[in-house]
Amino acid sequence: MADCNKPKLLAVAGPTASGKTALAIRLAQQYNGEIISADSMQIYQGLDIGTAKATEEERAAVPHHLIDIAQPQQAYSVADFVPLAEQKIAEITARGHLPILCGGTGLYLSTLVNGITFTEEKGDETVRQQLAQELKVQGAAHMLAKLAQVDPEYAAKLHENDHKRVLRGLELYHKTGKTMSQQLRDSRPAEKPYDALIFGLNYASRELLYSRINLRVDKMVEEGVLSEAELVYRHRDAWKTAAQAIGYKEFFPYFEEIQPLQDCVEKLKQATRNYAKRQLSWFRGMPEIYWLDAADPKPEQKLAEWLCR
């Protein structure tokens, strides 16, 4: 059933290096749209190359929102993203334009389009400190495995270096006996807030996606990602989120003079390929996604049907 009385929201999702930005810009130009970034790292000012932000030329061609809105030392989560995105959707819709959500952070996208709300549980500082100490002693892989024992569904969507979400999932379970997966399901409203059409980009050949990822990493190095990574390394104690981000932490051994640069580049390529697999796993768990061939995306017919209903 069409949600004709709800605000329309177009979204472009998919793994890194699949062409999301290019498609979103093309559709924005064709359908009088404005782009809202759904990327957990592009919010940070000064971190441009490693987060694959739209270029200045691209942002000049089409309005972009929720990029460069925070300093690298600021904490930012899906609970911060959702109200900001909702506000931007309302503003864009009021202008008579089409809001287009674009990004690869699956949690941000699915939370927004499903209207999931957050009831802030007061943290247990004692448990939090115990978990942080356990992480320090036992390591990230141990903590992710511990989360997988109680909440395998949520743990499967996380990387071991996503310390904040891993520890939050464990803390929530310890305090309430409820898993994060269950909390997310319980937080879904009876009706979704938007008439949303979500395009997912993927390549028929996994090797083609991996080749594009490898080329993107090489281009990032050429464009100067090493300077950004060194800045993050120097501020790693304060810029905690950035210091854990793929695109920066892989170069830390180079700055510590324990690995040659090329080894770090190859490590980044591998980490990005692994991240793409996790992104695809997340998006495949969203049955509402309409998949397109990233090599030649042709969304026009589906989009025309959606716009006319």
Q: Which pairs from 144-147 meet CB under 8 Å and 24+ separation? A: 146/170
Set out the domains of the chain in order of their start, with CATH numbers.
8-118+187-308 (3.40.50.300), 125-186 (1.10.20.140)
Instruction: Report angle CA 239, 240, 245 to the nearest 5 degrees.
Output: 100
By the 8 A CB rule, do 142 and 167 touch? no
pLDDT reported for residue 123:
62
Instruction: Let me know how many helices (H) and strands (E) the chain has, helices first.
Output: 15, 6
Q: How far apart are the C-alpha atoms of 161 and 141, rounded to whole Å?
A: 8
Per-residue pLDDT of the chain (309 residues; tens, 9 = 90+): 456 689 999 999 999 999 999 999 999 999 999 999 999 999 999 999 999 999 999 999 999 999 999 999 998 988 899 999 999 999 999 999 999 999 999 999 999 999 987 655 556 778 888 888 889 889 989 999 999 999 998 898 888 878 888 888 898 888 888 898 887 777 777 789 999 999 999 999 999 999 999 999 999 999 999 999 999 999 999 999 999 999 999 999 999 999 999 999 999 999 999 999 999 999 998 999 999 999 999 999 999 999 987
Q: Which residues pair with 293 in a beta bridge?
A: 202
DSSP class of residue 294? T
Q: Please name the amino acid found at residue 138.
A: Q
Q: How far apart are the C-alpha atoms of 99 and 101, rounded to whole Å?
A: 7
Reading the block at residue 211, the tokens are 């080749």
Beta-strand pair 64-65/98-102 = unpaired
By the 8 A CB rule, do 292 and 201 touch? yes
Q: How far apart are the C-alpha atoms of 275 and 281, rounded to whole Å?
A: 10
